[in-house]
A and B are shown apart, each in its own frame.
Chain A
Amino acid sequence: MKKLLTITLLGLILVPALLNSVDLKISGEMWNRWTLQNGMIPADTSMTVYNSGITKNFFSLERGYVGLEAKFSDTIKGRFTVDIFSTDLIKDGAGLKLKYAYVDFGDLIPVPDLTTTVGLQKVYFGSIYDWDYSLIGKAPADGYKFANSADYGISLNGHIPQGWGQYQLGVYNGEGYKNYGANLKDNIDPAFLANLRLTPIAGLTLGGSVMTNGSERQFKLSDATENSSYNTQLLADGLVRAAFGPLDIWAEYLYKDVTYAPAFSAKNYAANCLSVFPTLKLKSLIGADIDLTARYERWDETQLPDSKKKNLLNAWTGGLNYNLMPDDTGNTAMQLQLNYERKDYDESVSGSDFANGKKDTDTVMLQFKWRFSASVK
């Protein structure tokens, strides 16, 4: 509640100030969701026998983005976005996260089409930063925690002339925007990012990202002993997108290599994820603005040293998006989404934590999104 009060006060102070000095755009996006999940439930206190049953059934406001964009000049603009979300799990009735708070400087470095971004901003890794939630689920790199969708840092964002693509270089905290207090990993190593996207021909996009990150500090401040949790991570992503006619297919491969200090090298492991995400836009075929979506993900953590926790997940999602109220540009103000997702752990290679379908789930999600945007001045 304190946070809400703070943000309200900040808004009351900032908005009139901005109104008097800059061009201002206000925007919002709300995601109202119903989630119904079937999973495995312990049959008794022994936790050895499980039965299939409903594990989740709730309505929620999963996201409530409210944003301000202030244009200070043709080359300098700021963005401030909060996420006010609400589920029954939240004590005060609503949660609050600061999602973006950054300034773009278009002319700080004299390179054409290069912007320097400072503050809490997007992380340009894999498909995270341009994931438009055509499926209700997150981008794989976000969902499997390769990288966070937003983080504090500085980045250079450039576009290659003639529309050949884009590139980003960034340095971030590496902790993301959600961790706080005791959740923080006491991380003193910044994360470094390089990302490249090429569009050699219309419809074909090739991309790759590399990021280094770390977790914890190597030697504890309290007694200078070596920290067994300290590790460094090498994260890599390769993606291909083919968009021809009504069909748009993304394929993405993610790789993570986690290395601990030499004394704890037994904990080293690597993981990878392959996902394929096709969308068929029916508008040109039947007139109605409906998209059929699907995704297959194969998340491989079989190299985890903990034999109980190693796992191989196969996840299938099928969905339908009904787009409503298009504006002059074809962007829609409302969208109804229906998704079915099946998560199935391969027990032949997964550990005991995943035995007997304990972690397998079937989930139906129905989501209604609506958004608005208006220039105040």
Chain B
Amino acid sequence: MKNRYFSIALILILALGLTSAFAKTRSITCSGSTTVLPIAQATAEAFMDKHPDVNISIRGGGSGVGVAALQNGTVQIANSSRPMKSKEISQAKSKGINPTPYAIALDGIAIVVHDSNPVKNLSIAQIRDIYTGKIKNWKEVGGPNLPIVAISRDVASGTFEVFNEKALSGSKVTASAQLLASNNAVASAVGSTPGGIGYIGLGYLTGQIKVVSANGVTPSVKTVQEGSYPLSRKLYMYTNGKAKGDVNSYIAFIQSEEGQKIVEAQGFIALK
């Protein structure tokens, strides 16, 4: 009797497994950085046009979310606007996941103010003092007598982490700062706040906001590619081990000349 129950259970498990295996379509799943999101979406659309049998599913959530999802094996690609940390790599490896980075684009984190603000340049030290609450009025940095409204990204975002590391050197953002969940939200808030200052990926610049240079360097293709702009970074896709199959084809497409043109069309900077 025991053998009979065991056989039935085994058949059920195998049947479920086979059903699951046959039900699989060619799909790619990725999640993570909201900065990388528009690149992933635009390139995915172009890639799926060329490969109609492949479905690419993309979610945001922030770089930390993408990395955790890769660690848990729930996505094939983690989009990240920062390199993975030693702790994250170690955690992933202990679970049998081998995070492998692919640079897909360059980005400059632009410091933006309201279009009416005459300030054209801020030093990194001034940016840090503004975001830590030491500088509270634009007149302290050569601007009008207007209270500064600091607008920041939430701490889960990779954009925040890079800004925090490169501009704030780990200092705490002032409690009075507004914390917003996306680049678009920051751009919109700065555009509607005369005393506002924010930081966003270059791909999110709009007409209502103005870019100020940092340490005298304006974010541009040239300054970001040559690394002279102090708030520049690489954007990554991480896979478990060397990318294979459709995932490899998709990433290779993004890195190709055609893919890099899409990167540029989204307002980011090509790798070369």
Q: A162-B86, A328-B61 are in contact. Are A285 and B20 (CB under 8 A)?
A: yes
Decide if B92 touches A202 in the complex (CB within 8 Å): yes
A183 at the interface (CB under 8 A from B): no
- Chain B residues with CB under 8 Å of A166's CB are 87, 90
Q: A286-B16, A286-B17, A329-B72 are in contact. Are A163 and B155 (CB under 8 A)?
A: no
Interface contacts (Cβ under 8 Å), in number, total 103
B171 at the interface (CB under 8 A from A): yes
Decide if B89 touches A163 in the complex (CB within 8 Å): yes
Decide if B93 touches A72 in the complex (CB within 8 Å): no
User: Size range of the interface on B?
Assistant: 35 or more
Q: A75-B170, A248-B96 are in contact. Are A328 and B164 (CB under 8 A)?
A: no
Q: How far is the CA of A197 from the CA of B155 in the complex (A)?
A: 29
Q: How far is the CA of A204 from the CA of B90 in the complex (A)?
A: 11
Chain-B contact segment, one of A225-233, A237-245, A261-269, A344-352: A237-245
Q: How far is the CA of A164 from the CA of B99 in the complex (A)?
A: 12
**Among B17, B96, B155, B241, which residue has its beta carbon within 8 angstroms of that of A243?**
B96
Q: A23-B155, A166-B90 are in contact. Are A328 and B69 (CB under 8 A)?
A: yes
- Chain A residues with CB under 8 Å of B73's CB are 284, 330
Decide if B170 touches A329 in the complex (CB within 8 Å): no
- Chain A residues with CB under 8 Å of B172's CB are 72-74
B 39-76 to A, binary, CB cutoff 8 A, 1 in contact else 0 = 00000000000000000000101000100110111100
Decide if B86 touches A73 in the complex (CB within 8 Å): no
Q: Which among A20, A285, A286, A288 has the greatest number of chain B C-beta atoms within 10 A?
A: A286
Decide if A163 touches B93 in the complex (CB within 8 Å): yes
Query: In whole Å, how far is A247's beta carbon from the nearest beta carbon of chain B?
Result: 9
B4 at the interface (CB under 8 A from A): no
Decide if A113 touches B85 in the complex (CB within 8 Å): yes
Q: A74-B168, A202-B92, A202-B97 are in contact. Are A330 and B68 (CB under 8 A)?
A: yes
User: Size range of the interface on A?
Assistant: 35 or more
Decide if B94 touches A205 in the complex (CB within 8 Å): yes
Q: A73-B171, A244-B96 are in contact. Are A159 and B69 (CB under 8 A)?
A: no
Q: How far is the CA of A288 from the CA of B89 in the complex (A)?
A: 27
Decide if B31 touches A328 in the complex (CB within 8 Å): yes
**Among B71, B90, B94, which residue has its beta carbon within 8 angstroms of that of A241?**
B94
- Chain B residues with CB under 8 Å of A199's CB are 90, 93-94
A 142-186 to B, binary, CB cutoff 8 A, 1 in contact else 0 = 000000000000000001111111100000000000000000000
Return the chain B residue nearest A329 by Cβ. Answer: B68
Interface residues of B (CB under 8 A from A): 13, 16-17, 20, 31, 59, 61, 65, 68-69, 71-74, 84-90, 92-99, 154-155, 164, 168, 170-172, 175, 179, 241
17 new A-B contacts, CB < 8 A, other than A202-B97, A202-B241, A287-B16, are A72-B172, A73-B170, A73-B171, A73-B172, A75-B170, A112-B86, A113-B85, A159-B85, A162-B86, A166-B87, A201-B93, A202-B92, A285-B20, A286-B16, A328-B61, A328-B69, A330-B74
Interface residues of A (CB under 8 A from B): 20-23, 71-75, 106-107, 112-113, 159-166, 197, 199, 201-203, 205, 241, 243-245, 248, 284-288, 326, 328-331, 375, 377
